[in-house]
Amino acid sequence: MSIDDFKTSLAGDAPAAGLTPVLTGLWWLAKGDWDRAHRIIQDETGRDAAWAHAHLHRVEGDLGNAGYWYRQAGQPVATDALPTEWERIVGALLTT
């Protein structure tokens, strides 16, 4: 799936079948359901999940918690616009 396909899928009522849990969580985040996204992503492990988790806490405004998750992900703390970071994470995860 391309990033454009992923974005187009946001017009639907549910994420596409076959997405990883982390991408599913990021899909729900883009739909405005932070709580659902967090419930999905917080149960996942690994660097990809930690990166998405960091983004979620940055969206929430909890920068201290976000910093912890960026460190777990091995990623620098993001300072760009939230939508830009979301797209960067989704794009990276779609190519892995």
Q: What per-residue confidence (pLDDT) applies to 27?
A: 98
| CA–CA dist 46, 27 (Å, integer) | 19
Domain extent for 72 = 3-94
Around 74, how many Cα atoms within 13 Å sit in the side-chain half-sphere? 3
Output phi, psi for 84, to 5 deg: -65, -45
Give the count of domains, the chain: 1
Q: What per-residue confidence (pLDDT) applies to 95?
A: 87
- Residue 96 above 80 pLDDT? no
- pLDDT tens-digit series, residues 48-59: 999 999 999 999
- pLDDT tens-digit series, residues 23-63: 999 999 999 999 999 999 999 999 999 999 999 999 999 99
Q: What per-residue confidence (pLDDT) applies to 26?
A: 98
**Entry pTM:** 0.95
